[in-house]
Amino acid sequence: MSRMPVDERRAALVAATLAVVERDGIAGASARAIVNEAGMPLGALHYAFTSLDALMDAAADAVTDQERIAAEPPPGAAAGSLADVLREGLAAYVDLLAAHPARELAFLELMLRAARARLDLPAGPGRHARSYAVMAELLEAAAAATGTRWASPTDALARHAVATLDGITTTWLADHDTPAAHATSRFLAAALAHHAVPPADQEA
Amino acid sequence: MSRMPVDERRAALVAATLAVVERDGIAGASARAIVNEAGMPLGALHYAFTSLDALMDAAADAVTDQERIAAEPPPGAAAGSLADVLREGLAAYVDLLAAHPARELAFLELMLRAARARLDLPAGPGRHARSYAVMAELLEAAAAATGTRWASPTDALARHAVATLDGITTTWLADHDTPAAHATSRFLAAALAHHAVPPADQEA
DNA sequence: CCTCCAGTTGGACGAACGTCCAAGTGAGGA
DNA sequence: TCCTCACTTGGACGTTCGTCCAACTGGAGG
């Protein structure tokens, strides 16, 4: 690793941390395991970060900054009603979860680590803020694509959606019941659709 | 700890483990920390359990066996509509979460630990089975108390409810936004109520 | 009262941990 | 070409970890 910019080193170490946590869990994410994953000497960690804790914090930030909600616009253009669009999008997340459970598990482990550090802090602007924003954009896009509009503020609905997706994740990790997870995602889609004004009642 | 039945020892160690995880997190739940919490000598751990891992497994089982949903029947008898009853019950959980976040965080940490161990296992009957059953009973009790009946199977609805409560928990742990958590609980209550037949349409 | 042994204990052991620092290294200026 | 020094490295240090086992203990049976 001769002569590599510090920022690049930090990014590589963060990526290695995510890989190790995904493979071995947060308990297996030791300094040696991480630098080994990154192909770096042991000293590189404390050269790029002040401590292992700081690296873990950076990794947690990278996860929350990353857009967890894989929200590609539907390939088939005209999908149907708002409820259909929501159903499809949420089902896509459940499929992603069932395909890569270790990744979601790693995200949750890092999130709980950060949550414990913040337990005593008074309020906090929220680590999920970016997730909420992304989800709100998704909801608005879905409404726009189906000629619908939301009857409730999208940021509130977005938080409900993100929370429920988190719950779908933890619950699936507990019982590995993919059909049931899909059912819950449909439950969520229907619940969200209830907060939209149907196309007939539009142009008010 | 002279002359104590092994089962009682095991139970005491499990209780101590839960206390340590709640206070210091799963990372701080070392063998020495646990036996210290229990007021036992170090050797007592491997006398009652084959390994620390086995003790952690037992602790995780104790949590999932325990009824997490604090579901006391509403003290005021006549509460109102089904949606009102659900709202009250779910709000009670959010209050409990906001009052004792470390406990819920500990539960989640233990649950994720067990989830990682089960990652490769094919399906599994589900760790949450007891939670689902308790929640299903609650839903049925709420319907019975308000003269309503469910249009969907209560075990499916129960899983949706448990999943969403998990999501409310993780999301609150991330942003500490109690009013928003209450809003999500109301969102869930309304969504559940949509799957019930209103009293007017009864006696079919 | 003594013996005995199932039950209990605390120290020992090797491994792995996070952190630090003195030695090494190689590109750029003289 | 050689010197220099900022950057990089890997080994050393003290701590803590999980596990094991030889020594201890105290109530029951003779």
Asked if the model's pLDDT at residue A77 lies above 60, the reply is no
Protein-covered nucleotides of chain D (CB closer than 7 Å) are 7-12, 16-22, 26-27
**Where in the sequence is the domain holding B33, given as residue range(s)?**
6-65
Do A87 and A61 belong together in one domain?
Answer: no
Distance CA A136, CA B190 (A): 20
Beta carbons of B175 and A105 less than 8 Å apart: no
- Residue of B32, B83, B171, B118 whose CA lies nearest to A161: B171
Which of A143-147, A181-185, B109-113 bottoms out in mean pLDDT, i.e. has the lowest?
A: A143-147
**Residue B124 pLDDT:** 66
Same domain for A133 and A60 = no
A10/D5 CA-to-C1' distance in Å: 24
- Which member of B113, B159, B180 has the closest CB to residue A159? B180
**Residue A80 confidence (pLDDT):** 82
Across the interface, whether the CB atoms of A166 and B165 are under 8 A apart is answered no
Considering its fold, how many domains does chain B have in total?
2
- B33 contact to strand D (CB, 7 A limit): yes
Asked if residue B45 belongs to a domain, the reply is yes
Q: Are residue A104 and residue A40 in the same domain, yes or no?
A: no
Domain-embedded: residue B74? no
Q: Are residues B128 and B160 in the same domain?
A: yes
Q: Comparing A95-99, A128-132, B63-67, B80-84, which segment has the lowest mean pLDDT?
A: B63-67
Measured in whole angstroms, the distance separating CA A198 from the mean position of its chain's CA atoms is 29
**Rounded to whole angstroms, what are the CA distances from B194 to A190, A193, A195?**
9, 12, 12
Q: Say if CB A13 and CB A41 are below 8 A apart.
A: no
Task: Give me the CATH number covering residue A188.
Answer: 1.10.357
Q: Are residues A39 and A121 in the same domain?
A: no
Interval A136-161 mean pLDDT: 94
Within its chain, how far is the Cα of A65 from the centroid? 9
Q: Which long-range contacts (CB under 8 A, 24 or more apart) does B97-100 make?
A: B97/B168, B97/B169, B97/B172, B97/B181, B98/B172, B98/B178, B98/B181
pLDDT for residue B78: 56
Q: How many Cα atoms occupy the beta-carbon half-sphere of A95 within 13 Å?
A: 8
- The predicted pLDDT at position B193 comes to 96
Residue A77 lies in a domain: no
- Bridge partners (DSSP) of residue A196 are A150
In chain B, positions 3-32 with C-beta closer than 7 Å to nucleic chain D are 3, 30-32
Judge if the beta carbon of A170 is closer than 7 A to nucleic acid strand C: no
- Strands B196-197, B149-150: parallel, antiparallel or unpaired by DSSP? antiparallel
Q: Which chain B residues touch A180 with a CB distance below 8 Å?
A: 156, 159
> Residue A164 pLDDT > 80, yes or no?
yes
Is A26 within 7 A of strand C by CB distance?
Answer: no
pLDDT at A70: 59
pLDDT at B6: 83
Residues A88 and A157 in one domain: yes
- Mean pLDDT value across residues A88-115: 95
pLDDT tens readout for residues A15-52: 999 999 999 999 999 999 999 999 999 999 999 999 99
- Cα-flanking dihedrals φ and ψ of residue B146, to 5°? -110, 15
CA of A111 to nearest chain B CA: how many angstroms apart? Answer: 7
- Of the residues A36, A65, A94, the one at which a domain ends: A65
Q: Is B161 within the bounds of a domain?
A: yes
Cβ-Cβ pairs closer than 8 A, A with B, add up to 154
* A101 close to B (CB below 8 A): yes
Q: Report the CATH number that the domain containing residue A38 is assigned in CATH.
A: 1.10.10
CA-based end-to-end distance of chain A: 63
**Domain presence at residue B174:** yes
Query: Residue A34 falls within a domain, yes or no?
Result: yes
Q: Which carries the bigger pLDDT value, residue B59 or residue A202? A: B59
For residues A44 and A110, membership in a common domain is answered with no
- Region class of B167: left (phi > 0), else alpha (psi between -120 and 50), else beta: alpha
Residue B77 counted as domain residue: no
Check residue A101 and give its pLDDT: 96
pLDDT of res. A204: 42
Q: Which residue of chain A has the CA closest to B25?
A: A116
Flag whether pLDDT at A108 surpasses 90. Answer: yes
Check whether residue A29 and residue A113 sit in a common domain.
Answer: no
* Token pair listed for A28: 């297996």
Residue A4 has pLDDT above 90, yes or no: no
Q: Is B45 exposed, middle or buried (0-12, 13-18, 19+ CB in 10 A)?
A: buried
Contacts of A130 in chain B (CB under 8 A): none
My answer on whether A38 and A110 are in the same domain is no
Q: Searching chain B, which residue's CA lies closest to the CA of residue A179? A: B156
CB atoms under 10 Å from CB of B15, counted, come to: 15
Mean local confidence (pLDDT), A90-119:
95
Cβ of A43 less than 7 A from strand D = yes
Average pLDDT by consecutive 10-residue portion of chain B (204 residues)?
79 97 97 96 95 97 74 59 92 94 96 94 74 92 92 96 97 95 98 87 47
Boundary of a domain, candidates B65, B90, B108 = B65
Tell me the residues of chain B between 144 and 173 that have a Cβ less than 8 Å away from chain A: 156-157, 159-160, 162-168, 170-171, 173
Cβ distance of B128 and A171 shorter than 8 Å: yes
How does residue A6 score in pLDDT terms, banded at 50, 70 and 90?
A: confident
Q: Given this model, what pLDDT does residue B4 score? A: 77
At residue B126's C-alpha, the angle toward residues B120 and B132, to 5°, is 155
Q: Tell whether A93 and A194 lie within a shared domain.
A: yes
| Residue B21, in any domain of the structure | yes
Residues B103-154 pLDDT 10s: 999 999 999 999 999 998 876 666 788 889 999 999 999 999 898 999 999 9
B182 touches chain A (CB under 8 A): no
B180 interfacial to chain A (CB closer than 8 Å): yes
Looking at the fold, whether B42 and B87 belong to one and the same domain comes out as: no
Query: Tell me, in Å, how far CA of B45 is from C1' of D23?
Result: 18
Q: Are A120 and A40 members of one domain?
A: no
Q: In 3D, which of A187, A156, A179 has the Cα closest to residue B191?
A: A187
